[in-house]
Structure 1
Amino acid sequence: MESRPIATPPHRPPPNTDLKVRSPWRESLSSLLQNRLAVIGGIILFIFIVMAILAPYLTPYTIDKTDPSIRLLPPSGDHWMGTDDLGRDVFTRVAHGARISLLIGLFAISGALLVGTTLGLIAGFYGRWIDMIISRVFDVLLAFPSILLAIAIVAILGPSLENALIAIAIINVPIFGRIVRSKVISLRSEEFVLAAKAQGMKNGRILFHHILPNSLAPIIVQGTLGFGIAIIEAAALGFLGMGATSPTPEWGRMLADSRGFIQNAYWTVLFPGLSIMLVVLGFNMVGDGLRDALDPKMKNK
């Protein structure tokens, strides 16, 4: 009998162990860092955040100490942004105002995000009459111009910085709620949700362990963009006398106090207004970058 050669299996190259699977969030971060406008916006925000944290140590002046002998001085080496009508250092007040404005945006948007996300999850997941009631509440809130609704809420609660923060949070609740609701409606019929229901998983666990994590992308984008909007709304309420009161160095309040000196002391209006513009621009640029990084449709364009 002839002996047949033993067939050897075809040579296969060893698996490439250098290839690493990148998580979607890490890939999105890499895409965000490649967006020049988003990076510029992040640098702007970083500068203002550092200024807010280090505000007490940046200048030797205090926010409320007045000196009529140096009132309305133009920018100089001693006073980088000049002085206001009461002889207070404008840079000191702008730096402390950054802390106030950023905290207003943080707490207002955090409150709106928490309430709006919760209501949106409930409305989108359960549907029927629960969805109808929550959606109608959102529609009523969105039917009013946001700044007029904020003014009405502050007028009822009383003018103060805390009440302005509450008003800003309330008018932003339906924005987050509708975004989350629409995302939940699109996810509740997905296979992984149906499989979780088939396994007997409770609705609360499905909402917070399956649906919410898959809804984070639009929430993060809207939260970033809403941060800048909240700062504008706080400045508008302060300018109208419905928010922070003097001598609190809130940027909108500073604009209101200095509007009578815009012709002969432009710096008292320029620097608070420029600070509002730069911070809001920074948040918008970062928000647009996040939208492009987190939205798969934008990546393919």
Structure 2
Amino acid sequence: MAETHVQTVPVKQINEPISSPWRDAWRILRKNKMAILGFCIILFFVLLAILAPFITPYEYDKGELVDKNLPPSAEHWFGTDYNGRDVFTRVIYGAQISLRVGLFAVIGSIVAGTFLGLLAGYYGKWIDTLISRLFDIMLAFPSILLAIAIVAILGPSLENALLAIAIVNVPTYGRLVRSRVLSLKEEEYVMAARAIGSKHSHIIVQHILPNSLAPIIVTGTLGIATAIIEAAALGFLGLGAQAPQPEWGLMLSDSRQYIQKAPWTVIFPGLSIMLTVLGFNLIGDGLRDALDPRMKN
């Protein structure tokens, strides 16, 4: 009787990590030195914001006039401003405001823009026409001018500036999601789900939205940097945070007349804005390279 030979096929180790698009993206991101640098910059400012009450003995809204416009020293690392307030203290407390405004403004824009983009892209017809024309009207205005108009109507304050920044950036995410949905709803797996009788809400939540997250995450990360700049611009114009809040744009506005006499009152808030925006831009570029299939080898 002939012997039967059974060929054994090696089985992967159970503990071997399973490959997935998000896992692959994280692996690529970890190798991106510029993205890691961006993470380090943002982590530095986040830690400053969290530990602000424990880092400095001064209060951001109180100072001594006899100590006004003192240069940087061991006692005042970044010097003092025209009211004798410690600039270092105001800068690290300002990180709390700028990061909060940037984060929540972008979250609001993403939520509203994604919702409108899903409706326009998936249902089409008059819904698409109405939402698309609304986006076109909003994009016809420069974002900062539209934000100024909104704050002028609502009144100058940090909360109204945050709301204005969120509103003016809704079309950016709405059009991005709409274009993504238009291509995804023609995919075979979406058509198959529609053929077996799946509800529209189920198709949107389970199939279309998860496959639209990558560009939203990339654009949102870059959008935080834009939101911080817009908040600083509104603060500089007196339409955002109000004194004595230590918002970086407001600090630049208050100290611009002392730029020759006390340049440190302008340099350090300006550097903080630049570094924070740079950090988010580096992260956003790294996420784009990691999440875009065309950038992968």
> TM-score under structure 2 normalisation?
0.97
Which residue is 1:16 aligned to? 12
Alignment of 1:53-132 (within 5 A): 53-132=50-129
What's the secondary structure of 2:169's corresponding residue? helix
User: 1:29-86: per-residue Cα shift (whole Å, max 9, x none)?
Assistant: 1110100000000000000000001111110000111201111111111111000010
What's the secondary structure of 1:149's corresponding residue? helix
Q: Does 1:209 align with 2:206?
A: yes
Which residue is 2:184 aligned to? 187
What's the secondary structure of 1:162's corresponding residue? helix
Q: CA deviation at 1:107?
A: 1.1
Q: CA deviation at 1:198?
A: 1.3
What's the secondary structure of 1:86's corresponding residue? coil
Deviates more, 1:250-259 or 1:17-26: 17-26
Which residue is 1:145 aligned to? 142
CA–CA separation in structure 2 for the residues paired with 1:125 and 1:78? 60
Q: Does 1:38 align with 2:1?
A: no
User: 1:154-191: per-residue Cα shift (whole Å, max 9, x none)?
Assistant: 11111111111111001100000000000000100111
Q: Does 1:250 align with 2:247?
A: yes
Which residue is 1:159 aligned to? 156
CA–CA separation in structure 2 for the residues paired with 1:23 and 1:45? 27
Alignment of 1:149-298 (within 5 A): 149-298=146-295
User: 1:166-222: per-residue Cα shift (whole Å, max 9, x none)?
Assistant: 110011000000000000001001111111111211101111111000100000001
What's the secondary structure of 1:106's corresponding residue? helix
What's the secondary structure of 1:54's corresponding residue? helix
- Aligned structure 1 segments of 4 or more residues deviating by more than 6 angstroms: none
What is the CA RMSD across the aligned residues, in angstroms? 1.1
CA–CA separation in structure 1 for the residues paired with 2:147 and 2:61? 28
**Structure whose alpha-carbon radius of gyration is higher:** 1
**Letter matched to residue 107 of structure 1:** F
Q: CA deviation at 1:9?
A: 2.6
**Letter matched to residue 50 of structure 1:** L
Q: CA deviation at 1:10?
A: 5.6
CA–CA separation in structure 2 for the residues paired with 1:36 and 1:49? 20
CA–CA separation in structure 1 for the residues paired with 2:287 and 2:98? 22
Count of residue correspondences: 296
Unaligned runs of 5+ in 1: none
User: 1:105-146: per-residue Cα shift (whole Å, max 9, x none)?
Assistant: 111111110000000001000011110100000011111111
> TM-score under structure 1 normalisation?
0.96
**Letter matched to residue 17 of structure 1:** Q
